[in-house]
Structure 1
Amino acid sequence: MKLHEYQAKGVFAEAGIPTPESELAETVDEVVDAAERIGYPVAIKAQVQVGGRGKAGGIELVDDEAEAREAADAILGMDLKGLHVGSVLVEAAVDFTDELYVGVTMDRTEGRPVAMVSTKGGVNIEEVAEEDPDAIARVHVDPSFGMHPYQARNAVFEAGVDRDVATSVARVLTTLYDLWDDKDATDIEVNPLMVTADDEVVAADAVMNVDDDALFRHSDLQEMEEEGDTDQDDLEAKADEYGFDYVRLEGNVGIIGNGAGLVMTTLDLVDYFGGAPANFLDIGGGAKAERVTNALDMVFSDPNVDSVVFNIFGGITRGDEVAKGINEALENFDEIPKRVVVRLAGTNAEEGMEILNTDLVTVEETLEDAVQRAVEYAEEDQ
């Protein structure tokens, strides 16, 4: 379960992490009224669960009523990376001198939670980790004992945080770990954690993802999940309707497969060959033609997708049924919206290859070749 920013900030504030004064609004008039109560300048922030909102036009800083109305009118109802914006957070602007990053997640390699601090806040932390890994200080925590105060202090000082705010940042990091542990979170972070001229720290953004299987222990979070359903991604709603295991990602190579392990392998190969996966979509075992057609309809509906790789290994699922589904889906288009690469293996794969309309798809014998071709197609269409 992914909390919206306003929901995560509510949890953070209740735990003692400083957050800007803010109100949720769903109409232009509500935005203006909230801004008047809070006091200008304010930030108007689209409440959708996707990164890069600012660059996509989903966050605006305004100084008066006229600017607030214009920004609210532009953001409310907009399509932001395929997500409908139904509400915005109206938030007091923070006059900051520095931006930091603090977060907690699970280190699968170490088998322990890891707390992280960086002075390079306000930017994509994944890019920082890839381009300058030493810019992120990390400390692994034994979950049996929790985070000790000295561990938080060590991470803060190792990151190079200014001494004037080091204690405050360490306190925020410790609180984040406690929330991560108490709320069964999978990821929790503040990016950016802003430092003001008065050496105060303020959580200007908030991310909190919770293990779905643990929600029965947290009635407050279950209520937030129900509240957030109104802003559900249209594709996720469609996945529920079709009965697919589906996760939307931020890349441009659409992925369809039968079986979670097979789909995960395909995602890894897309990344290995320099591409970026757009989704995880498992059509399951024994998929018939109609189910395959529905899967293609879903992936084609994602505006971020530039190519699609279909990876089917037949066991219960029959290659000829998959081929029929692909043909049926694609033959309905006057022009194929995305280029599709197909790899079929296993039960009735040869029959499927004979059925496939190769005027509509590209067929590759191996998974590696199929993924490479899909990545090439995606790069050509950018």
Structure 2
Amino acid sequence: MKLFEYMGKELFARYGVPVPAGKMVTGADEAAAVAAETGAPVVIKSQILSGKRGKGGGIKFADNPAEAREQAGGLLGTSVQGLPVEMLLVEEKLQIDHEFYLAITIDGAAKRPVLIASAQGGMDIEDVPAEYIIKEHIDIYLGIQPYLARDISRRLGLSGQLAREMQRLLPLLYRIFREKDAELVEINPLVQSGEKLVAADAKVTIDDDALYRQKDLPYVDERTPAERQAHALGLSYVQLDGNIAVMANGAGITMGTLDIIQHYGGRPANFLDAGGGTGMEATAKALEILLSTNPRVILINIFGGITRCDDVAAAFAKVKQERGIPVPVVIRLVGTNEEEGVRILRDNGIEAYQVMHEAAAKAVELARS
């Protein structure tokens, strides 16, 4: 579960991590009031669960309350990175002398937490050369000991008061990571403002399986309406940004379907694993979810084992007869009760493919036309 920036900063402040003074608002007048309260120029930041907000036009600046009202009104109700802007964080504008990057996350290969730091923080951190990135695995029994904090400060080129600030900050960040069951705690940028280090941003991701014991954290449901519908049906569904809706029966075959669509130059609109043994009713509802996302083409890829091909075909026929299917559908159908499934599809004007790459190529061709 990802936290919005303002939630992450509230969490940081509880642990003693310095953050700019500010508040979350949902209206332009509230933004003006916060600007007046801070008594200084402010930054107005869209609260969406996505990066690259600055490049996407989701961050504005204001020198006074009137400007804050105008800029906030211009952001609220718009879309940034394809996500609706319903909340803003209005906070003091920092004096930025230097930007660092700091994060703690899980190294899956090493099965240990890893501290990542760089003296080249800010936008496009992913483009910073590897030689400028510091990575140190953390012993979960020892945590971040003073010697490690001193070493990181030295390698970041810090000395004096700034080094002491970093040495105080690192254990706090790890404490948040451990106590809140986090998968990621990230500050980018960590701003040097005079002799202080301030978290100018906050990205916190909590392990979903640990939410039951994190009662003091707000719950953030980042799923789309289609993802919520699929979850209620017990289906694995992730919405993507393409135009070819996909349904297959199994995680592996679904991933393979997405890959082969991209191989032919297409863009999948989703990941939908209907699973093995999904009956006709659930399959029909899965098709309706795909239709609700308004794709250009639907590609169904079934290798029937537990899943019966005739059930899939009957579900398709049911949806087509009851609500209509206004977009082209390409179906690859192989396996259990294949002959009956192919017959049902043919009766409904669809010829099934037997080879996956041929079906994917046809779906991409239809999406382009």
Judge which range, 272-281 or 141-150, deviates more.
272-281
Q: Sort the Cα spacing of 1:84 and 1:182 in 2 relative to 1 into closer, same or farther, 3 A.
A: same
- The answer as to whether partners of 2:345 and 2:352 remain within 8 angstroms in 1 is no
- The answer as to whether partners of 2:333 and 2:352 remain within 8 angstroms in 1 is no
- The answer as to whether partners of 1:343 and 1:364 remain within 8 angstroms in 2 is yes
Q: Sort the Cα spacing of 1:236 and 1:78 in 2 relative to 1 into closer, same or farther, 3 A.
A: farther
Q: Sort the Cα spacing of 1:27 and 1:134 in 2 relative to 1 into closer, same or farther, 3 A.
A: same
Q: CA deviation at 1:95?
A: 2.0
1:11 maps to 11
2:192 maps to 195
- The answer as to whether partners of 2:342 and 2:352 remain within 8 angstroms in 1 is no
1:102 maps to 102
- The answer as to whether partners of 1:319 and 1:345 remain within 8 angstroms in 2 is yes
2:273 maps to 282
- The answer as to whether partners of 1:116 and 1:155 remain within 8 angstroms in 2 is no
Letter in 1 for 2:198: V
Corresponding residue SS for 1:20: coil
For these two proteins, the number of residue pairs brought into alignment is 365
Q: Which digits, 9 at most, give the CA deviation of each residue in 1:60-113, with x for residues without a partner?
A: 222233432232223222234443332211111122122221111111111111
Alignment of 1:308-319 (within 5 A): 310-319=300-309
Q: Among the aligned pairs, what percent are the same residue?
A: 40
Q: Sort the Cα spacing of 1:287 and 1:172 in 2 relative to 1 into closer, same or farther, 3 A.
A: same
Q: CA deviation at 1:273?
A: 9.0
Q: Distance in 2 between matches of 1:28 and 1:82?
A: 21
TM-score of the aligned structures, taking structure 1 as reference length: 0.78
Q: Sort the Cα spacing of 1:301 and 1:77 in 2 relative to 1 into closer, same or farther, 3 A.
A: farther
Judge which range, 208-217 or 341-350, deviates more.
341-350
1:47 maps to 47
Pick from 151, 165, 170 the counterpart of residue 168 of structure 1.
165
2:336 maps to 347
- The answer as to whether partners of 1:9 and 1:19 remain within 8 angstroms in 2 is yes
1:320 maps to 310
Q: CA deviation at 1:312?
A: 3.3
1:332 paired with 2:324, answer: yes
Pick from 202, 208, 223 the counterpart of residue 206 of structure 1.
202
Q: Distance in 2 between matches of 1:170 and 1:273?
A: 51
Q: CA deviation at 1:277?
A: 6.9
Q: Which digits, 9 at most, give the CA deviation of each residue in 1:326-352, with x for residues without a partner?
A: 564698354x3xx87654443334554
Corresponding residue SS for 2:45: strand
Q: CA deviation at 1:166?
A: 4.0
Q: Where does structure 1 lack aligned partners over 5 or more consecutive residues? A: none
Q: Where does structure 2 lack aligned partners over 5 or more consecutive residues? A: none
TM-score of the aligned structures, taking structure 2 as reference length: 0.80
Q: Sort the Cα spacing of 1:157 and 1:361 in 2 relative to 1 into closer, same or farther, 3 A.
A: farther
Corresponding residue SS for 2:165: helix
- The answer as to whether partners of 2:334 and 2:354 remain within 8 angstroms in 1 is no
Q: Which digits, 9 at most, give the CA deviation of each residue in 1:26-53, with x for residues without a partner?
A: 1222222122112342122222212222
Corresponding residue SS for 2:97: strand
- The answer as to whether partners of 1:115 and 1:173 remain within 8 angstroms in 2 is no
Q: Distance in 2 between matches of 1:116 and 1:162?
A: 16
- What's the C-alpha RMSD, in Å, of the aligned pairs? 3.8
1:91 maps to 91
Q: Which digits, 9 at most, give the CA deviation of each residue in 1:155-212, with x for residues without a partner?
A: 4544x4444634433443332222111111111211121222x132211111111112
Q: Sort the Cα spacing of 1:112 and 1:264 in 2 relative to 1 into closer, same or farther, 3 A.
A: farther
- The answer as to whether partners of 1:120 and 1:128 remain within 8 angstroms in 2 is no
- The answer as to whether partners of 1:128 and 1:135 remain within 8 angstroms in 2 is no
1:246 paired with 2:243, answer: no
1:365 maps to 355
- The answer as to whether partners of 1:137 and 1:156 remain within 8 angstroms in 2 is no
Q: Sort the Cα spacing of 1:354 and 1:237 in 2 relative to 1 into closer, same or farther, 3 A.
A: same
Q: Distance in 2 between matches of 1:38 and 1:3?
A: 24
- The answer as to whether partners of 2:35 and 2:90 remain within 8 angstroms in 1 is yes
- The answer as to whether partners of 2:101 and 2:119 remain within 8 angstroms in 1 is yes
Q: Sort the Cα spacing of 1:271 and 1:183 in 2 relative to 1 into closer, same or farther, 3 A.
A: farther
1:215 paired with 2:204, answer: no
- The answer as to whether partners of 1:340 and 1:361 remain within 8 angstroms in 2 is no
Q: Distance in 1 between matches of 2:235 and 2:227?
A: 9
